[in-house]
Amino acid sequence: MPANPSLLIRHPNLLLTLSLRCCSLSSAARPSLTFTLLRTYCSSSSSSSSSAANSNDNARSGRSGSLSSIPAHDLAQKIDVNPPKGTRDFPPEDMRLQVDFPVLESEALFIRKAGEEIRDQLYCFEDRGNRRVALRPELTPSLARLVIQKGKSLSLPLKWFAVGQCWRYERMTRGRRREHYQWNMDIIGVPEVTAEAELISSIVTFFKRIGITASDVGFKVSSRKVLQEVLRCYSIPNELFGKVCIIIDKIEKVPIDEIKRELRSAELSNEAIEELLQVLSIKSLTKLEEKLGAAGEAVAELKLLFSLAEKLGYSEWIQFDASVVRGLAYYTGIVFEGFDREGKLRAICGGGRYDRLLSTFGGEDIPACGFGFGDAVVLELLKEKGLIPEVGQQVENIVCALDPDLQGAAAGVATILRGKGQSVDLVLENKPLKWVFKRASRINACRLILVGSSEWEKGEVSVKNLSSGEQYQIKVDKLE
């Protein structure tokens, strides 16, 4: 494992310490980014807000509730960009280095175009104020809401990241849970492919820091514009595009005959389906260019991304795969997915460009792209590769009173040491020394500080170095 760790990932029975630096748009410089998967709490005054969404008197409580009762075309006018009543956002100026949002959001915030997979994955209900709310299944819609709320006060481009707890009601598999922590990183205000290049570079740098190599993990890269160009040739209506993307996103999960059946149900002709599947089978950017020509945006942007990847030093990590489209409806351009090369795990991470997301909520569109990276699957990957370090617990001091009447004195000694930045385990009960030594061994304490009557009368304590065995008395005011 790399040295000087600064990233903490919390996992049952595990405290994994890692380090992360991001790549920059320039190949010459690498600014750093440190993030923690422990939820960060900070002081912030509660923001008052109005109702997050119109109530639905006939809505039933439950997992997906009355999702279809809110017309998709009305969402842009009805989304309230304030957080739900009684909750608050944590913009970067409050969080200093990262951004966070309420774990409870308006249900309407997550409703997209008809048929989007997330509809059936919401933990949602009606609160006592008759508002439809949901536990957040992802962070990007909350980010979009905050950007709209801040409006022109924001200085573009934004480079924000967030680490938040998310919930999705879905089938559980290895590396996929219904509750997880997710690292999101977004760049807002940059229309060029340089933004996507930097995002992938950040993930690659993270992998390198935790010991994962290009032989372990790769990135499949494509563009939704590839699919758009094919559908345009067959005069497929734009309103069917999102539905087709959701079907194609399942191409590695269900039999091809099922994919064809669903595409026919989406009103694609047999000729269009065969052409589409032929294009989606392309794994070479050169062959894609031969098929679609060099003039289209899709090929031009992909070629630029692969060129930037070479300059940024991660070309061996990425490969073109036309079948990658991502399931969420808001993606508009380049999309990518991280995968383990042995094929034992689900997608490790994924993201892409979403230039038209803000208008879905009634805001003014701004070029944007980002990714989501869950903690559960990367921990499975680290287990698979034997890269999880043994992180032992260690306490600098264990302080014990030898007499019940000296418990207050022992507490005072603990306070002095803690005031000097040291970790202290204070024995709170009247325990025999045999128990204290066992406790010291269990918590891997460095030294034992005993507060006894004769020493305390002289303003001293007994100190035993538990590594060397050295024992001595020292004045309390000289402890350090």
For 87-134, how does the pLDDT look when each residue is reduced to its tens digit (9 = 90+)? 778 787 777 667 889 999 988 888 754 345 667 889 888 999 999 899
pLDDT confidence of residue 250: 84
* Token pair of 68 as six digits: 């279809």
For residues 442-455, give the mean pLDDT.
94
- Closest by Cα among 211, 177, 185 to 12: 177
Comparing 337-341, 374-378, 395-399, which segment has the lowest mean pLDDT? Answer: 374-378
pLDDT confidence of residue 41: 28
261/267 Cα distance (integer angstroms): 10
pLDDT class of 175 with cuts at 50, 70, 90: low
- Asked whether the beta carbons of 74 and 60 are under 8 A apart, the reply is no
**DSSP assignment letter at 128:** T
The most confident of the ranges 157-171, 225-239, 312-326 is: 312-326
Q: Does 54 have pLDDT greater than 50? A: no
Pick 53 or 74 by higher pLDDT.
74
From the CB of residue 392, how many other CB atoms can be counted at a distance below 10 Å? 8
Q: How many residues appear in the chain?
A: 480
Comparing 31-40, 262-271, 353-362, 399-408, which segment has the lowest mean pLDDT? Answer: 31-40
Rounded to an integer, what is the distance from CA 48 to the centroid of its chain? Answer: 27
- Mean pLDDT across the chain, nearest whole number? 81
Distances in Å between the Cα of 369 and the Cα atoms of 31, 71, 160, 289 are 19, 26, 11, 24
For residues 310-322, give the mean pLDDT.
96
pLDDT, tens digit, for every residue of 405-441? 999 999 999 999 999 999 999 999 999 999 999 999 9
* Token pair of 215 as six digits: 């032989």
Comparing 63-67, 130-134, 466-470, which segment has the lowest mean pLDDT? Answer: 63-67
261/308 Cα distance (integer angstroms): 39
Q: Does 27 have pLDDT greater than 90? A: no
For residues 23-33, give the mean pLDDT.
34
Mention every residue, 6+ apart, whose C-beta is less than 8 A from residue 250. Answer: 259, 327
pLDDT confidence of residue 396: 95
Q: Does 171 have pLDDT greater than 90? A: no
pLDDT confidence of residue 117: 60
- Asked whether the beta carbons of 449 and 399 are under 8 A apart, the reply is yes
Q: Does 38 have pLDDT greater than 60? A: no
pLDDT confidence of residue 60: 34
Amino acid identity, position 52? A
For residues 297-311, give the mean pLDDT.
96
Q: What are phi and psi of 363, to 5 degrees?
A: -95, 180
- Closest by Cα among 103, 212, 82, 81 to 162: 103
Q: What is the percent of the chain where pLDDT is above 70?
A: 81
For residues 12-23, give the mean pLDDT.
34
Nearest 5°: the CA angle 232, 77, 246 is 35
- Evaluate the CA torsion angle 184, 109, 188, 319 in order and state its sign: positive
pLDDT confidence of residue 68: 38
47/388 Cα distance (integer angstroms): 40
